[in-house]
Amino acid sequence: MSLDTTATLHELLRALPALEADTELILRPVAAGATATLRRTGAPPRIFTLTDAGALHELSPALDQDLPGAALLADPTALARHLEPHLGALSTARLCAWRPGRRAVLQLRTADGTEHWLKLLDRKSFRRASAAFAAVGEPLGEMRLQTPHLLLPSSCGYVAAAADGTPLRTLLAGADAPPLTMLARALVALPFTAVHGELPIVDFERVRAASLQGLAQGALLRPELQSLAAAIAELPAPRPPARTGFVHGDLHDKQLFLAEDRATLIDLEGMAVGDPRFDLANLVEHVRLRDLQQHGADSGLAEALLARCGITAEDSAVRAFRALVRARLCGVYALRPRWRELVARLQLEAMQLMELRP
């Protein structure tokens, strides 16, 4: 990251048109300079960058050279032909998410009304995902893993059925509390998921590295985050877990679907083994984040979920992981200009969680 990248981010901000009220702006520093993603509910993402001459240029997912399956996005007929032998005739295919060079996600609906999700990955991510899918076994209790029913090696993609139930994020936005007891039982059982092969390792130092990377990116627009990064770098590692186990790796409220008697996890290509306390810390910090975003205050739901899992809010190891996650969220939301006040609050609270002050 450099001053040139910071300047490019500011130039990109100035070049963008006025945003509609329901549009989320996400800035990302990348090797080529910076991109701006405009995301609206129910609409495909639009991603912009600057040309060498400083003009605004919209990128096309169909031209993403790092995604082997990108050609399928250019021609709906080719996509239908590619999938029809496996799924039957397609009636609709909608692009829902795209991260240039990393992934594209499409919602598919077949002629009989069945919903599927297609994820197209870069080659490295697809190799890792394929190995993870082959290594993981059945989880215990109320937890389900929505593993793909179709791998597409030629396009580095996979297809999974739609998960049963309601996304936790949707439940958090409602008036009623989600079913915490069932969710806690599923979360406690998750680390005991059988693993039959090698998976990547997730430990405290790997989570710290991700937090510092996020803070470095966020500090391009919010230099004050550098003090938080310094504190995170010095945070003592907690005691090792009593037992390592299965780790989802990106467990948050959009990845969990809750039905009456079970929870289902999606987006499994980052599965790993390691410290299960990270998954729990990541989830409760996102539950708390939604409180702050939607209501401007912490309702205590995150602490209630921890308690249902048999963990007190003062557990030093979970506090340390929560500090890393909260700090990483500072970096993520520093690149979303509408959340300026939220980032300031998260920074203060991350320092307090470490029993430090800025």
CATH of the domain at 111: 3.30.200
The boundaries of the domain holding residue 33 are: 1-58
Q: Looking at the structure, tell me whether residues 11 and 102 fall in a common domain.
A: no
Residue 195: half-sphere exposure toward Cβ, Cα within 13 Å: 19
- Distances in whole angstroms, Cα of residue 209 to Cα of each of 201, 206, 212, 327, 349: 13, 5, 5, 11, 20
**Residue ranges of the chain whose pLDDT lies below 50:** 1, 357-358
Q: Which of 125, 141, 162 is the last residue of a domain?
A: 162
Best CA proximity match to 64, nearest among 16, 29, 107, 99: 99
CA distance 114 to 203: 39
Residue 17 confidence (pLDDT): 87
Q: Looking at the structure, tell me whether residues 34 and 154 fall in a common domain.
A: no
Residue 314 confidence (pLDDT): 83
Q: Looking at the structure, tell me whether residues 226 and 310 fall in a common domain.
A: yes
Q: Looking at the structure, tell me whether residues 227 and 288 fall in a common domain.
A: yes
Helices (H), 196-266: 204-218, 225-234
Q: Which of 35, 58, 81 is the last residue of a domain?
A: 58
Q: Which of 162, 184, 215 is the last residue of a domain?
A: 162
The type of residue at 75 is: D
Residue 148 confidence (pLDDT): 96
CA distance 38 to 46: 5
- Distances in whole angstroms, Cα of residue 343 to Cα of each of 18, 218, 231, 325: 22, 10, 16, 13
- Distances in whole angstroms, Cα of residue 210 to Cα of each of 69, 81, 177, 299: 28, 39, 31, 28
Residue 5 confidence (pLDDT): 86
Q: Would the pTM count as exceeding 0.75?
A: yes
Residue 103 confidence (pLDDT): 96
Residue 357 confidence (pLDDT): 40
Q: Looking at the structure, tell me whether residues 260 and 335 fall in a common domain.
A: yes
Give the phi and the psi of residue 294 in degrees, each rounded to 5. Answer: -90, -35
Number of structural domains (the chain) is: 3
Q: Looking at the structure, tell me whether residues 112 and 206 fall in a common domain.
A: no
Best CA proximity match to 38, nearest among 17, 8, 63: 17
CA distance 320 to 123: 34
Residue 2 confidence (pLDDT): 58
